[in-house]
Structure 1
Amino acid sequence: MFRIRKKSARLCKKVFGTRHVEVRGQSATAAHAATIAQAIRLRENEGLETTLRHLHLVTKLSQPHALRAAAELERSKMIVIERDLHDVLQSRLSLTGEMRENLDEIARRDAA
């Protein structure tokens, strides 16, 4: 999981076409969003769910950066956050079908 951040710069360029995105008026790196998307994909492939509470642990991002990037991914319709009404950090994250297909296509191209 920790090698995810090393590959995220290349991934964010392919997926987002940029290095930076705006999150509520603050500059955040698209690499954080790419790291999160890739981590969710890997965990889904292993049959594991990812919650907001897990996010900073599996990506090694600070919790505020991870939460901001997840919010940006949700606004961009790349992930779905299923809200937990009792504990917001237990809200589950999943990739949209389109994002999953994009990441799978990138992985196939990289493997070739």
Structure 2
Amino acid sequence: MFRFREITVRLCGKVFRTGRVPEPQGNAGAAHAAAIAKAIRVRESQGYETTLRHLHNITQLSQPEALRAAAELERSKMIIIERDLHDVLQSRLELTAEMRQNLDEIAHSDAA
């Protein structure tokens, strides 16, 4: 658990340019956002797309928590949500290039 907190703080440092967890969501919101970003990156690397419908299954978050965290990631310009006009839960999620690079740098530094 401590390791996940450390990775979350490092991710926040890279993305939010701070060493602390952003407000107003606080610790849980940042942890949820980090879990979603990491899950999307893993799925991308395996050749899978991620939709809003997938989030709570792949992150173990409740659907409302996952949707709130995805909305915050989109507002912060860390993911792009390609809206599906017929079924909102089928909207595709994609990391921005900057977020993908940040996650790859963290993974690379952890491997070293």
User: Which structure dedicates a bigger proportion of its chain to helix?
Assistant: 2
| Shift, 1:22, TM fit | 2.0
Which structure carries more strand by proportion? 1
Where does residue 13 of structure 1 map in the other structure? 9
The answer to whether the 8 Å contact 2:21/2:27 transfers is: no
Deviation at 1:15, TM superposition (A): 1.4
Consecutive unaligned residues of structure 1, counting only runs of 5 or more, are none
Cα RMSD of the aligned pairs, angstroms, is 2.0
Change (3 A) 1:27 1:100: closer
Partner of 1:67: 67
TM-score where L is the length of structure 2: 0.86
Which deviations, in whole Å up to 9, do the C-alpha atoms of 1:8-65 show, x marking residues without a partner? Answer: 4222201113335325xx9852000000000000000000000000000000000010
Counterparts of 1:69 and 1:108, CA distance in 2:
25
Using a 3 Å threshold, how does the CA distance of structure 1 residues 82 and 29 change in structure 2: closer, same or farther? same
Q: Which runs of no fewer than 5 residues in structure 2 stay unpaired?
A: 13-18
The count of residues paired between Structure 1 and Structure 2 equals 106
Question: Residue 103 of structure 1: CA displacement?
Answer: 0.3
Whole-Å separation in 1 of the counterparts to 2:78 and 2:67 = 14
- TM-score, normalised with respect to structure 1: 0.86
Q: Secondary structure at the match of 1:19?
A: coil
The answer for the alignment partner of 1:22 in structure 2 is 24
**1:8–1:85 Cα change, 3 Å:** farther
Distance in 2 (CA, whole Å) between partners of 1:72 and 1:57 is: 19
Tell me: CA distance 1:12–1:99, structure 2 relative to 1, closer, same or farther (3 Å): same
